[in-house]
Structure 1
Amino acid sequence: MLLLRCQLKQAPPQKVSFRFCVVMGKQQSKLKHSTYKYGPDEIIEERIQTKAFQEYSPAHMDTVSVVAALNSDLCVSGGKDKVACIPKSSQFFSASRDRMVMMWDLHGSSQPRQQLCGHAMVVTGLAVSPDSSQLCTGSRDNTLLLWDVVTGQSVERASVSRNVVTHLCWVPREPYILQTSEDKTLRLWDSRGLQVAHMFPAKQHIQTYCEVSVDGHKCISCSNGFGGEGCEATLWDLRQTRNRICEYKGHFQTVASCVFLPRALALMPLIATSSHDCKVKIWNQDTGACLFTLSLDGSGPLTSLAVGDAISLLCASFNRGIHLLRMDHSQGLELQEVAAF
């Protein structure tokens, strides 16, 4: 697990205090190409050179499986880990294949503040409650655990047969937790007793990831797949109807991550998806139309996507570490890679 400064500055790299933290390394400038714009009736592939971007020596020596933004200047990334941040805090949690969950403090020592042990298999989901008082964890052992953040004690446990957890997220201002699973379902859990409050209609493929909108009214889940079969994101209503609203199809391999983009970016609501097909796509949330595609050539499968700030995205990849992407409206909606580290 690494803590990275993701704000671009021209000062030489410096070490930071944590043993598990680094900043970006040697800098190189490169030119990118291969972007896709979408007109009313056709896809136009642009094979033109765009702005130079800054490429630093990789922060990780292996695949980056997850990235999360602490703020506009710092992000946390994990190789085989899952990471969840406490809102407006210097604290964050990590989980890994050793079945442990650890709590870290950015301003504390290099040792974890807490170690939470309770799962029998690899921990694959983490979600922090909106008031930061509780942590929910999920595992390949088919269980969810609810923890008291202050005491580090498990307060609730639930198990559902064949519910191999792939991701967890907490609904803002609500006692509900959203969860995706390898059994192709999306579940909504009530943290008050850790009971299933709603189970959305099963999809045709494994659900890999989920995200809830800031207002808590909608959520997205995404699917694995191959050759364009599956490989989609789905928008759901979290209010009374809890119906499927829209689907976003256009990736050709597993969609590993999906996020709601800040409304400040455009007049219309947008979502972004990243896929094992090396592409990040921007979609009109309401119509399902793909507005822009950025192809990160040579990156390998894209594994995780996170909103950095009002105009930036962080994208983790198999081969090239972490990509810093920026939204640009100077010539219509565009997404550009500005750095890799």
Structure 2
Amino acid sequence: MGKLQSKLKHSTYKYSRPDGILEERIQTKACQEYSPAHVDTVSVVTALSPDLCVSGGKDKTVVAYNWKTGNVVRRFKGHEREITKVACVHRSSQFFSASRDRTVMMWDLHGPSQPRQQFSGHSMVVTGLAVSPDSSQLCTGSRDNTLLLWDIGTGQCAERASISRNLVTHLCWVPREPYILQTSEDKTIRLWDSRGLRVAHVFPTKQHIQTHCEVSEDGNKCISCSSGFGGEGCEATLWDLRQTRNRICEYRGHFQTVASCVFLPRALAWMPTVATSSHDCKVKIWTQDPGACLFTLSLDGSGPLTSLAVGDTVSLLCASFSRGIHLLRVDHSQGLALREVAAF
């Protein structure tokens, strides 16, 4: 296991300098080929610690992987169908996986090979997972139009809510708050109050399916992204959670569905930034406001990019349809740049 070989990787990107001039650069970097985490498409990836990530895919397995050494730490099997979502418990070795088999399982990196808990309550594929800030509750969402709120300690369902045509695509919990952000195939973004699981706010309806959402670490802003094709749709939108009537700005430049969006740590850039990944095989970095594209990295040959996660203060993890997980690193040697350093 571990590092297998190093390949020369050509990356073409455009860089918007602080003076507003857009430059296109080509760089050739060695990309390490690590032992693969999965044998098929990777659906989702998230960071568990500063050197470990958790991922799931079509091979029905959940994998804990050390991206700094290039090794599988543990492989968890229990689901009968593709993994759709993973979510980690804050400052813990525990994490959850959701699947097309309609179940959610709770795992412990240092525990037995069997799941610690199994949550069964949805009638269709589970497409949303969010853990409360105090790690006591789990919210799940599905294409069956329902949200379920679970007591993690007992494994019992505490609340249930259903809205017609609310086909959930993603869930995330607002830090230090009792609120849950949710995107849907009905083109709507909802903010739920976990106290009774009621809708607290509905954002203005978008023109395309909302595929993913993320909340900033301070809990003041959120970002959502949309489906699309040929440049129609394919945008991400920044919202202010304190004044939820209007969007702050939109990020336009992808040409296919934007599947994932994340807020980047301040250490990655000299200004507040966000990153997006798309089915067009590109990862883009944007200024939060006014939404200028600082950088575009093309991961050609990877197929659609399915998931994006912050690894540490200088790294991003990007799951793909054809080439597993890409380890991307921020490079400040020539302004703000992003390069692929490994794939697994």
TM-score by length of structure 1 reads 0.91
Distance 1:167 1:317 in 2: 18
Name the residue aligned to 2:29.
51
Tell me the SS of whatever aligns to 1:308: strand
Name the residue aligned to 1:274.
277
| TM-aligned CA deviation for residue 53 of structure 1 | 1.5
Is 2:91 the partner of 1:100?
no
Are the counterparts in 2 of residues 234 and 248 from structure 1 also a CA contact under 8 Å? yes
Name the residue aligned to 2:257.
254
Name the residue aligned to 1:71.
49
Matching of residues 309-328 of structure 1 within 5 Å: 309-328=312-331
Is 2:187 the partner of 1:166?
no
Is 2:179 the partner of 1:176?
yes
Report the residue type matching 2:39 in the other structure: M
Matching of residues 47-196 of structure 1 within 5 Å: 48-79=26-57, 80-81=82-83, 82-196=85-199
| TM-aligned CA deviation for residue 26 of structure 1 | 2.7
The structure that is strand-richer by fraction is: 2
Are the counterparts in 2 of residues 156 and 194 from structure 1 also a CA contact under 8 Å? yes
Are the counterparts in 2 of residues 25 and 59 from structure 1 also a CA contact under 8 Å? no
| TM-aligned CA deviation for residue 32 of structure 1 | 2.4
| TM-aligned CA deviation for residue 42 of structure 1 | 6.0
Tell me the SS of whatever aligns to 2:187: coil
For residues 197-237 of structure 1, the C-alpha deviation after alignment (integer angstroms, 9 at most, x for no partner) is: 00000000000000000000000000000000000000001
Distance 1:251 1:240 in 2: 27
Is 2:212 the partner of 1:212?
no
Cα RMSD (Å): 1.3
| TM-aligned CA deviation for residue 242 of structure 1 | 4.2
| TM-aligned CA deviation for residue 292 of structure 1 | 0.3
CA 1:115 to 1:241, structure 2 compared with 1: closer, same or farther past 3 Å?
closer
Tell me the SS of whatever aligns to 1:236: strand
| TM-aligned CA deviation for residue 160 of structure 1 | 0.2
CA 1:52 to 1:28, structure 2 compared with 1: closer, same or farther past 3 Å?
closer
| TM-aligned CA deviation for residue 121 of structure 1 | 0.4
Q: 2:200 aligns with which of 197, 202, 213?
A: 197
| TM-aligned CA deviation for residue 37 of structure 1 | 1.8
Tell me the SS of whatever aligns to 2:42: coil
Tell me the SS of whatever aligns to 1:264: helix
Question: What are the ranges of 5 or more consecutive residues in structure 1 without an aligned counterpart?
Answer: 1-12, 14-23
Distance 2:234 2:51 in 1: 32
Report the residue type matching 1:29 in the other structure: K
Are the counterparts in 1 of residues 3 and 32 from structure 2 also a CA contact under 8 Å? no
- After superposing on structure 2, the runs of 4+ consecutive aligned residues of structure 1 that deviate more than 4 Å are 39-43
Report the residue type matching 2:148 in the other structure: L
| TM-aligned CA deviation for residue 166 of structure 1 | 0.1
Tell me the SS of whatever aligns to 2:172: strand
Distance 1:240 1:287 in 2: 17
For residues 22-53 of structure 1, the C-alpha deviation after alignment (integer angstroms, 9 at most, x for no partner) is: xx56333323222222356664332x342212
Distance 1:201 1:73 in 2: 38
Question: What are the ranges of 5 or more consecutive residues in structure 2 without an aligned counterpart?
Answer: 58-81
TM-score by length of structure 2 reads 0.90
Name the residue aligned to 2:236.
233
Distance 2:250 2:11 in 1: 28
